[in-house]
Amino acid sequence: KIKQLWTETMGVEKKILKEGDGKTFPKEGDQLTMHYTGKFKGTDKVFDSSVSRGTPFSFTIGRGQVIRGWDEGVMKMSLGEKAILQISSDYAYGERGAGGVIPPNADLDFEVELLKIGGAGGGGCAIV
């Protein structure tokens, strides 16, 4: 059940699946640990998933280590929140696509869960 909808004017839309704590939000430069499953928009075709690997993904928010849709959408999530980020191609991989897996100009859906803010985490992702 989708509880709330938040929309950014360009590029990323967030649908909350599970509320977070509502008070702890990431700041630019924070180390985050998340689980995610990436699909092509409007399909069930998974192109990458930390969940299926059983290893959360860690990165620094707001530093261009991930696609723009993540940098902007995840900043609006609170600790423990699970959401779907619907990301237009210009906020994802644009005309270049990614790694032979994501074609040019692909809109993407990511189910994401913010597990941890701060500290070191584990994991990695070849295309995010």
Catalogue the active-site residues: 36, 47-48, 67, 93, 110
Burial tier of 48 (Cβ tally within 10 Å: 0-12, 13-18, 19+): buried
115 to 56, 79, 82: CA distances (angstroms): 8, 6, 9
Separation in Å, CA 26 to CA 4, 34, 67, 68: 19, 12, 16, 15
